[in-house]
Chains A and B, each alone.
Chain A
Amino acid sequence: MLSFILPRVAGLPGMARRSVSVMERNITALKSAYWFVFIAGLLEPLMYLLSIGVGVGALIGDLTLPDGKVVDYATFVAPAMLSSSVMTGALAETTYNFFSKMKYAKLYEGMLATPLRPIEIALGELGWAMLRGAVYSAAFLAIMVAMGMTTAPRALLAFPAALLAGLAFGALGMAFSTFMRSWEDFDLVGSVQFALFLFSGTFVPADVYPALLRWLIEVTPLYRVVHLVRGITMGEADPVVLIDVAYLLAALLLGLVIAGRRMSRLLYR
């Protein structure tokens, strides 16, 4: 693995510049009808927050957490909605869009005619996914502060956490995409994503689940993100958040390595 990464990292300035060009292409493409879809993506977590956080929250009232703390339901749900939208956005960008570009638009084959190398394409696309996630996260955090679900300093701290989550999911998504052969495989992404969305401590604390299921949930990425972000926005982060950060960094690294290798194999045929 090191022999794969080190030569690339050593050539960093050139590599960084080339990766950024890949990122820039996406920004330019945004000027077409794509921007409306981009804006629309901001709405989805907000709608979930209003519907489940506020609507269902009116049925629940205040939630008593396992440690005894009482919190308003919307405040409990909001960080989970943020985490989930970061996941969905990153995965959509690095599975669906990435796959289209690679297989059908043959975009990357065109890019390889330039000095770009596959790992730089991977980094550029990941950078774009993160940029998009950053815009959504910032907007959602601002709304959370406005609705009194967190304080501004905590929101500022939650922002880099959301970025890290976006990077981790993006890298995992890209790695997965390099194994997909046809559109049917995407059903799996959407389904796994939705299952994670339902059970990762998003709507109820994970403690309500039986022990075996609980432990399974604890190793899934969305739960780690929710735990991290909720710990920050609700101001009660325990040392386990350090494990969350380590987990996400590991996922990011793993995804990048796999994606880089697989892309070389797929594009240099």
Chain B
Amino acid sequence: MGPLHPVLAALEFHLVGYRRTWRGSVFSSFLLPLLTVLSFGVGVGRFVDGGVDGVSYLDWIVPGMIASTALQTAVAESTWPVLSRFEWIRAYHSQIATPLRVGDVLGGQVAFTLFRVLVNTSVFLAVAAAFGALRSPWALAALPAALLVGIAAALPTIAFSASVTREHFLILLYQFAIIPMTLFAGVFFPVDLLPEALRWLAYVSPLWHGVDLCRAATLGVAPDWSAAGHLLYLAGWVAVGWPVAHLRFRRRLIS
């Protein structure tokens, strides 16, 4: 394998495959969030008198959508593709038959997921800039924030997908975790509009932390909660997610 790090070799596998399927994903992972911003930011925004927290609804919703796009891309790449690579295509089994170790196989999957999150959020950020929704030079910080949300969401999801054999569980994950998160974690309306008893559910979700960070970045205001706190919390999801995912991969690939 020469000097190439094993994870890069595994990543190459994913990238080569993506060369064939990228066209399909352009529409769903980029155009759809864009359409959401248009429909909500411009359409619904027209009816939100006075904006939210001093900015127009469009400017307020865009950073939430950036974090949400990062989350959706990460989860989409970590559910069915992971399950299919274990169950139907058996791509991971082929990979492990090479000198790649479990950590490299997992690393390749995570690296590819991050690549997709990076591409989607960068394009979205560029479009947001074109709409004039970025109000501060700090806006570029939304990119690493989005990447962190992506990896924080990807690892536990990968661990979950690696531990099931049927796709019903993935549908349940979407219905009970992902969709509620995207609807109630402060993307479309401020979290403090939620009844106090339910607010903590939003605060526990990785998405809310990402939304607050991205919003602080694009609007150039202080986040609602401490930025360091957000970063530590998301890093916590990564720190727990990696070993669990690794264990799951190991159990399935090395019997």
For residue A32, which residue of chain B has the nearest CB? B168
User: Once the chains bind, are B43 and A47 in contact (CB under 8 Å)?
Assistant: no
For residue A73, which residue of chain B has the nearest CB? B47
User: Once the chains bind, are A191 and B28 in contact (CB under 8 Å)?
Assistant: yes
Overall SS of chain A's interface: helix
* Chain B neighbourhood of A59, CB < 8 A: 48, 52, 57, 189, 193
For residue A202, which residue of chain B has the nearest CB? B39
User: Once the chains bind, are A44 and B52 in contact (CB under 8 Å)?
Assistant: no
Overall SS of chain B's interface: helix
* Chain B neighbourhood of A188, CB < 8 A: 27
User: Once the chains bind, are B193 and A55 in contact (CB under 8 Å)?
Assistant: yes
The listed residue (B36, B44, B57, B175) touching A44 by CB distance below 8 A is: B175
Binds B, one of A16-24, A193-201, A250-258: A193-201
User: Once the chains bind, are A184 and B21 in contact (CB under 8 Å)?
Assistant: yes
Report the minimum CB–CB distance from A151 to chain B (whole Å).
25
Binds A, one of B2-10, B101-109, B180-188: B180-188
User: Once the chains bind, are A187 and B28 in contact (CB under 8 Å)?
Assistant: yes
A-B pairs with beta carbons under 8 A, tally: 89
* Chain B neighbourhood of A44, CB < 8 A: 175, 179
In B32-52, the 8 Å CB interface with A consists of: 32, 35-36, 38-40, 43-44, 46-49, 52
The listed residue (B32, B38, B168, B188) touching A52 by CB distance below 8 A is: B188
Q: How far is the CA of A43 from the CA of B184 in the complex (A)?
A: 14
CB of A208 within 8 Å of the partner chain: yes
15 chain-A/chain-B pairs, Cβ below 8 angstroms? A37-B168, A40-B172, A51-B189, A55-B184, A56-B189, A58-B193, A59-B48, A187-B25, A188-B27, A191-B27, A194-B35, A203-B39, A203-B40, A204-B44, A208-B46
B interface with A by C-beta (< 8 Å): 21, 24-25, 27-28, 31-32, 35-36, 38-40, 43-44, 46-49, 52, 57, 166, 168, 171-172, 175-176, 179-180, 183-184, 188-189, 193-194
A interface with B by C-beta (< 8 Å): 33-34, 36-37, 40-41, 43-44, 47-48, 50-52, 55-56, 58-61, 63, 73, 184, 187-188, 190-191, 194-195, 198-199, 203-204, 208-209
